[in-house]
């Protein structure tokens, strides 16, 4: 997921302008049934790993959660594998 970035008022460094990411990096791995409909559902599953940054250490949940993950195209990004 594309992180939010801050650009503080600092002179550019040797690699370009200074850019600050949110303080906490999180990674979630999600497993489900296979994405491809022609695969045997008994023998195949799918997995998708998503990384994102957030400003605080609490896990996102409920109404305060960022809605961005809901827009992830799981069918396009998840990978099928055989058990």
| pTM confidence score | 0.69
Number of domains in the chain: 1
Asked whether residue 37 is assigned to any structural domain, the reply reads yes
Other residues' Cβ atoms within 10 Å of the Cβ of residue 47: 13
Asked whether residue 50 is assigned to any structural domain, the reply reads yes
Residue 61 tokens read as 């949940």
Query: Domain range for residue 34?
Result: 24-58+68-82
Asked whether residue 40 is assigned to any structural domain, the reply reads yes
The pLDDT tens digits of the residues spanning 36-80 come to 999 999 999 999 999 888 888 887 777 777 777 777 888 899 999
Give a three-class secondary structure readout of the chain: CCCCCECCCCCCECCECCCECCCEEEEEEEEEECCCCCCCCCCEEEEEEEEEEECCCCCCCHHHCCCHHHHCCHHHHCEEEEC
């Amino acid at each position: 997921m594309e992180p939010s970035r801050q650009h503080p008022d600092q002179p550019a460094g040797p690699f370009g302008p200074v850019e600050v990411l949110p303080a906490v990096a999180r990674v979630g791995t999600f497993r489900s049934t296979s994405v491809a409909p022609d695969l045997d559902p008994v023998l195949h599953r799918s997995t998708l790993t998503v990384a994102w940054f957030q400003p605080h250490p609490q896990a996102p949940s409920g109404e305060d959660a960022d809605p961005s993950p809901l827009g992830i195209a799981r069918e396009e990004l998840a990978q099928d594998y055989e058990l």
